[in-house]
Each structure stands twice: as C-alpha cells, then as structure tokens.
Amino acid sequence: MNSLTTLVEARFDPHYHNKYATLMAAGNGALGIRATHEEAYTTQTRGMFFAGLYHRAGEGETTELVNLPDLVGMEIELNGDIFSLLSGEILSYRRELSFASGELARIVEWRSPHGQRFTLKSERFVSDTRPGLFCLRLAITPHDGPATVRVATGIDATQTNSGRQHLAERELRVFENSYLQARYRTLDNVSDVTLGCACRVSPQAQVSFSAKNRRLLQHSQQTLAKGECFTLEKCAWVSASPDAPDDNAAAAALATLRECATLGYDALMAESSAARRLWWRQARVEVESDCRQDQQALDFALYHLRAMTPRHDERSSIAAKGLTGEGYKGHVFWDTEVFLLPFHLHTAPAVARQLLRYRWLNLAGARRKAARGGWQGALFPWESARSGEEETPEFAAINIRTGLRQKVASALAEHHLVADIAWAVAAYWQATGDDAFMAQEGRELLEETARFWLSRTRDVNGRLELHDVIGPDEYTEHVNNNAYTSYLAHHNVALAQGVRRRLGVPDDAFTAQCDDFLARLYLPGARADGVIPQDDTFFSKPTIDLTRYRASAGSQSVLLDYSRAEVNEMQILKQADVVMLLYMLPWRFDNATAAANLDYYEPRTIHDSSLSKAIHGIVAARCGRRDEAYRFWRAGCDIDLGDAPHSSDDGIHAAATGAIWLGAVQGFAGISVKAAELHVTPSLPPQWRRLAFPFCWQGRQLHLVITHDALTVSSDHAVRLFINDTAVDINGERTFSLSDSPCREAT
C-alpha cells in the first residue's frame, strides 16, 4: 500500500475557517469534533457531537444532534497579548491532517502585536479505539526573550446549536486538583452527558480552576525563558447515555479518564494509529492518476466514511453531515442506504447489517407515520434521528415574494426512501447471503415497505398509479407517476414477493396483492427516442436557460430568482430522477436508453444536490463515456474539496464522500450486481493508470487491481465473477487481459 495522503491548509484565511473545520474534523463514529482552531474566531463554528445524542430544544423546534460543550477552545495570552492570528503577524502557518493516523497538527510562527516571536504547535486526535477519547497537545516557545504564557482551557458549555441550548448543567467538579468533570442532562431529562478532561502542564506552571457562566476551566500560567517550551497535554473523555439519565456514569467516566490521562498522548496516539493502519488495509482504494488530487480525494472520502459511521451503536445511523457539523441537524436520510451503505457492505459487511438494523429497530415509527397518512405498512421518516419519528423541520428558507418561510414538502410526499431502504436490504442479502438477517429483519423490512406501496396506489382505469409524490429531484414536487418512485416501488414489492417465495412462505392475500401490484403498476416507458418521462407532466413544462445556475451548481441560486412554485412548473432539475433510476436498477435498461436519458436530462439539471454529479458520472462510465464520467467524478470530489469557501461550512457532504468511493468502484471499476452475480466491467478514465481496492463479496475477501489492459483479482476463497460479462472462477490470484473480448487470462 502506498503511503496515505494528507490534507494541508497552507494559509490562514477566515473565509475558509468553517470549510477546514469540516474537512479536517476528527471522528471515530461515536465522537466527532470539528477542526476549529484552539483560539476563538467569530467566523468559526465549533462543534462536537456524540452519535445518537439528539434533543429538541423546545416547542416548534426540530430534534437535532446536540452540539456538545467545547473541549478544543483555549484562551492563550502571550505576554499580555491575546493570541489571535488576526492580530500581530503570521510568519509561517501550516495545518495538516494525516489520513493515516487521524492526527491534525498545526504549526504557527507568530509575531505578537508587541513584536515578540512565538512558535505555537498543536496536535490532536480522536481515538480510533476508545470511543470517547479526544487528546490535544499544545506547545508554545518564545523566541525573543522571556515570556509569560497563560492558557485557559477546560469544558465550555456556552456552546449551542446556533443558539439553541440542549443541556442543563448538573454538576461541575475538579477532582484531585487535576480532573475536571462536568455533567449535563438534556432539558427534556432524557439523556445524560459527562465530559471530563485533565490538562497536564509542567510543574513550573501555576494552576487554578474556575467555574463560571457554564465554563469549567483550568488556568495555567508559566513564565518561560527565551527558547523554553510551555506544553499542555489535554486528555478528554466524553460519555453519553442517550436513552435514559444515568447518575452512576460519572464515577466510571472519571476512572476511564484517569486511565487514559496516565497513558498520555503518545501512547494513546500510537494505539489509535495502529488500529487505523489495520483498517486502511481492509478498505483503501489506491489510484495512479495524472491528477494528484484523485488519491487524496479517495483517502479523504474513506477517512470521513470511517469517522462518520457509528459502529458502536445500532440505534444510530449515519447523519447527512456525519459528525462534522450542525447541517441537516444530524438527521439520517436515504443517503445512508443508497450512497453510504455500499461502501460498508463491501469493506465491512457487519456495519451494513447494523445500518439496516437501525431501520428495522425504527419500524414502529415508520408504521405510525404510514398510518397517519392513511396507508399501511411502513413509511420511514424522510429525516430520522433516534426515535424513528419524522424529524423533518417544518420550514425552510424565506420566500422572496411573500416574506413567509416556505414549508418543507419532503416529509409529506418524498416517499421513495421506502423503496430505497428495500433496495439496500436486497443489496445486503445478495452481497452477504446472510439468510438469518433476511429471515428476520430483512423479510420484515421488505414486507412492511411493500405493504406501504400496495396501499399507496390509485386505480386509474384499471392501472395502478402513484400520485402526488416527490422524486429525488426536489425541484419538481407533487407529481404523478414519477419514474424513479414507481420503478423503485415495483422493485420493492417484487423483492418482498421474491423473498417470501424463497423462504417458502405460503401464498396468501398479501402475495396476491403483490402479484396484482406488479402486474398493474404503471411504469412510465421510454419515448421513441429512448427518453423516459420523469413524471406525467414533465415533458409539457417550458425550459429556461440554466447556464448561470449550472455554473454555481450546489448554491441553489435559482431560488433567488424564482420561487419554488415557479421552479416546479419548469423543466428544472435539482438532480435527474431518471439518471438516478438508471443507476439504481441498471439491469432494467440497456446502454442506449441510459445514454439517451443522460443526454436529455443532464442539460436540464442544475446539480444543486450534492447527490447529483457523482451518479451522472457512474451512469456515464457504464455507458463507456469515460471522459464525461471522470469530469463528473472530479466535480463530485470538489463538492467538499473544491475552492468554494462556504460549501462545507455546516459539515461534510457525507453522501458525496460515499459517492467518491462509488464512482471509483461502481463507475470506473464497473462493479455491479445483476441477478445476484458480481459483474466487473472496468471503464478506467484516460487519466488513471491503475486502480486497486479490496472488496468483500459473499464472505470472500477479494482484491482487485485494474489497469487499462488488465484486471488482477485475488480472493481468499473460491468465487465466481463476471468480467466484461465472461464468467471466471477465482481462488487465489488471477490476471485477465481487458483488451480481449471475451476476457481471457493474461499470461
């Protein structure tokens, strides 16, 4: 394995504070911490999140992932000057996140407003092995004579979610003149959080403590000779009991903190780093490309895919912004099943199983939501948190015409996620053959979701139609017979029918209903030119010139010129539903159809959704359009890694990181599953020379290496796969030439 890349911030620029706080965030699936600077800036938003710890701040508010009391902040005073990179002079600056170790380091040379030079170095990480552990180390060296250094840091509970406070202070303590501990309870009295930290400084430093205005701080002060170094090593432990208060947690948390603090930064870092190294071996995608950033984008994506996934807790799933920001309030969308689950399914299938169990455990809420709408089965919430209830906020932005805030319609009609979850259940079963899962969780999920669709139809002159739905394209609301929704619903019901028959469940009224549904559901067919209508009315709507809006894709700038209602009445796509459909059910459409729909819909698509470009890229790759595919893939990488200063302020685009992996593996390596067969149809872009990655399939650990000419596959057990549609059996390692058709083993 080549050495992993890093992410470097070479310049201090307040416009980019929140972007880098997101991109360089640390996390282990349980705990996520934004990469804000130790010193405060008004332009930076701090953030620390514990997976599953949600709370609603009051009536009319939305349940959100709690932004926890801050552990990162440090008030640093150097000879009386408040340390801030806005003042004085920056002599050098570099911040670097190591994807290999997960360590973030910053080194700054600074001339204070009084003209004295200092070097400040900080390092930090969230442990990959200990779920609540965060360590931070600060070193300060004066270069122009003696200096008095003051640092105040601890636990700062003035932190809010954009002004919404979720936690009441329960107890603040300082144990043994060393260990700060703060206990909080959510205002609804349901969840407890305990934060503890120890800040080790040299024995020469004077230390005192304060507890005021929700800040529990250690104040350390030391006078240094020129060249002497002040160091502060902060070891912090965060624990939470999201489902019930726990008054006994404090003692255990203190014991754990004491143990960690005794081990110290270096030992804890080594332990965490070793665990990460092992994981990278199971997951890393290596690429040789003309473009240096491609490997970085893949490393970045996988780093975040690991950081965002709550492997420790099946009652949590992956939030749309992971654990990196307040965006989308920490809610779980269909993004998880469609964009994120495949990565886990093929690198650590148990994680994929857990993500599906999250939905299964929340079936009760989904049944309630269906019943509220007058339907049967399970209608999962459009936005989900811990309770499984619908969490979509009521209002979005202000309507520029009326001055009123606009209602969010997704929770009412964006029902495709029901079928998306079923799609993921099937994908899991095909990839793992986990019959035990399918017999319990899988079957129940497929049946309950199918039951929803059976009840959701309307009989129109003998055919069943799906009315008043919203597809993934949220710029087209409340339409009938949306192609994406209908095809996926059909797939969902077919899956339920299929699994029952395979499990030998006798036919009954439900089976009969499924047969009827599958026979009579209206699936919009292609026109003569191959283009499938997105819905019943789409073709009849006018088009406008989208050049300007496409140039600022992702910004939703079209909504500054048109109201949502106006956008709805034009051929303007946030993302293209039919392209998404081609991606999801590739075996239903031939390449000519795919190409025709790409050509029709892409120019009408603004790509204002971060889910859009990457999927276009994969469909393009499958059509053999390698340049176009690569362009889209790169654009997908730029959603977070591009130059736009504020695109990631609220957190990482979790689905987009998943799509970076999907693009490489499903797009360029051309991996797909058809009728339970694993197909590999490589389509490397001209810029790439080599693509290599591990891949789990039905209990086998495969490894694939793809060049323009050859494909090398190794497997730890016998496995059959289809390379460019030719069946090959592998046990050990085999290399195939890709120049021939059908493919042949290279010599």
Least Å from the CB of residue 121 to its own copies: 22
| Cβ distance to its own copies smaller for residue 161 or 309 | 161
Among 133, 157, 285, 723, indicate the residue that binds its own copies (CB under 8 A). Answer: 157
Q: Are 384 and 362 in contact (CB under 8 A)?
A: yes
Q: Which amino acid is at 338?
A: V
Q: Are 652 and 22 in contact (CB under 8 A)?
A: yes
159 in contact with its own copies (CB under 8 A): yes
For 24, which DSSP code? T
SS3 172: strand
| Cβ distance to its own copies smaller for residue 169 or 516 | 169
**Token digits of residue 545:** 């010139």
Handedness of CA 329, 332, 338, 340 (dihedral sign): positive
| Cβ distance to its own copies smaller for residue 55 or 367 | 55
| Cβ distance to its own copies smaller for residue 178 or 714 | 178
| Cβ distance to its own copies smaller for residue 172 or 332 | 172
Among 189, 537, 543, 741, indicate the residue that binds its own copies (CB under 8 A). Answer: 189
110: left (phi over 0), alpha (psi -120 to 50) or beta: beta
CA 171/CA 236 separation, integer angstroms: 17
Among 629, 641, 637, 642, residue whose Cα is nearest residue 656:
637
| Cβ distance to its own copies smaller for residue 213 or 540 | 213
Residue 334 marked in a binding site: yes
CA 704/CA 669 separation, integer angstroms: 9
CA 129/CA 471 separation, integer angstroms: 40
Residue 574 marked in a binding site: yes
- For 119, other C-beta atoms within 10 Å of its C-beta total 17
Residues 516-575 that bind its own copies (CB under 8 A): 560
93 in contact with its own copies (CB under 8 A): no
- For 236, other C-beta atoms within 10 Å of its C-beta total 28
84 in contact with its own copies (CB under 8 A): yes
| Cβ distance to its own copies smaller for residue 42 or 547 | 42
Among 1, 10, 168, 274, indicate the residue that binds its own copies (CB under 8 A). Answer: 168
Least Å from the CB of residue 494 to its own copies: 42
| Cβ distance to its own copies smaller for residue 86 or 274 | 86
CA 41/CA 35 separation, integer angstroms: 13
Which residue of the set 474, 477, 602, 628 is catalytic? 474
What's the CA angle centered on 581, arms 469 and 348, to 5 degrees?
110
211 in contact with its own copies (CB under 8 A): yes
Interacting span for its own copies (CB under 8 A) from 120-128, 191-199, 202-210, 697-705: 202-210
CA 207/CA 228 separation, integer angstroms: 18
For 15, which DSSP code? G
Among 209, 510, 522, 722, indicate the residue that binds its own copies (CB under 8 A). Answer: 209
Among 94, 111, 214, 744, indicate the residue that binds its own copies (CB under 8 A). Answer: 214
Among 100, 79, 75, residue whose Cα is nearest residue 88:
79
| Cβ distance to its own copies smaller for residue 177 or 540 | 177
Residue 335 marked in a binding site: yes
Sheet holding 81-82, edge to edge: 81-82, 74-78, 147-156, 215-224, 206-212
Total residues contacting its own copies (rule CB under 8 A)? 52
Packing angle of the helix pair 483-502, 509-520 (nearest 10 deg): 140
Interacting span for its own copies (CB under 8 A) from 34-42, 234-242, 340-348, 596-604: 34-42
350 in contact with its own copies (CB under 8 A): no
Q: Are 594 and 582 in contact (CB under 8 A)?
A: yes
Among 8, 175, 227, 699, indicate the residue that binds its own copies (CB under 8 A). Answer: 175
Least Å from the CB of residue 126 to its own copies: 23
Interacting span for its own copies (CB under 8 A) from 210-218, 445-453, 626-634, 690-698: 210-218
Residues 262-291 that bind its own copies (CB under 8 A): none
Q: Are 420 and 491 in contact (CB under 8 A)?
A: no
Contacts of 216 (CB under 8 A, 6+ apart): 154, 155, 156, 157, 172, 174, 180, 182, 209, 210
Residues 42-81 that bind its own copies (CB under 8 A): 42-43, 57-61, 80
CA 27/CA 133 separation, integer angstroms: 10
Among 270, 293, 446, 430, residue whose Cα is nearest residue 363:
446
Least Å from the CB of residue 205 to its own copies: 16
| Cβ distance to its own copies smaller for residue 404 or 519 | 404
Size of the chain, expressed as the number of residues it contains: 747
Least Å from the CB of residue 385 to its own copies: 18
What's the CA angle centered on 372, arms 368 and 376, to 5 degrees?
70
Q: Is 474 a catalytic residue?
A: yes
CA 394/CA 384 separation, integer angstroms: 14
- For 704, other C-beta atoms within 10 Å of its C-beta total 22
Among 203, 403, 506, 525, indicate the residue that binds its own copies (CB under 8 A). Answer: 403
| Cβ distance to its own copies smaller for residue 215 or 353 | 215
155 in contact with its own copies (CB under 8 A): no
Concatenating the DSSP letter of every residue in 672-712 gives EEETTEEEE-----TTEEEEEEEEEETTEEEEEEEESSEEE
Among 6, 165, 387, 726, indicate the residue that binds its own copies (CB under 8 A). Answer: 165
| Cβ distance to its own copies smaller for residue 168 or 371 | 168
Least Å from the CB of residue 520 to its own copies: 45
Least Å from the CB of residue 140 to its own copies: 19
Among 273, 49, 99, 103, residue whose Cα is nearest residue 657:
99
Least Å from the CB of residue 58 to its own copies: 4
Q: Is the peptide bond before 603 cis (omega within 30 degrees of 0)?
A: no
CA 219/CA 231 separation, integer angstroms: 13
Among 162, 461, 540, 547, indicate the residue that binds its own copies (CB under 8 A). Answer: 162
Among 94, 111, 143, 173, indicate the residue that binds its own copies (CB under 8 A). Answer: 173
- Torsion of Cα atoms, 626 then 632 then 638 then 644, to 10°: 140
CA distances (Å), origin 486, targets 136, 183, 522: 51, 50, 7
Least Å from the CB of residue 531 to its own copies: 37
Least Å from the CB of residue 158 to its own copies: 3
| Beta bridge partner(s), residue 131 | none
CA 232/CA 141 separation, integer angstroms: 12
- For 468, other C-beta atoms within 10 Å of its C-beta total 14
Interacting span for its own copies (CB under 8 A) from 165-173, 472-480, 527-535, 658-666: 165-173
Interacting span for its own copies (CB under 8 A) from 152-160, 238-246, 511-519, 659-667: 152-160
Least Å from the CB of residue 198 to its own copies: 13
Residues 309-348 that bind its own copies (CB under 8 A): 326
Q: Which amino acid is at 278?
A: L
Residues 682-701 that bind its own copies (CB under 8 A): none
244 in contact with its own copies (CB under 8 A): no
**Token digits of residue 529:** 């030119």
Least Å from the CB of residue 223 to its own copies: 19
Among 143, 170, 312, 467, indicate the residue that binds its own copies (CB under 8 A). Answer: 170
Residue 613 marked in a binding site: no
Among 371, 397, 512, 727, indicate the residue that binds its own copies (CB under 8 A). Answer: 397
Annotated binding site: 334-335, 574-575
Binding-site members for substrate are 334-335, 574-575
Binding site for its own copies (CB under 8 A): 14-15, 40-43, 57-61, 80, 82, 84, 86-87, 157-160, 162-165, 168-170, 172-177, 185, 187, 189, 208-215, 326, 397-398, 400, 403-405, 560
**Catalytic residue IDs:** 474
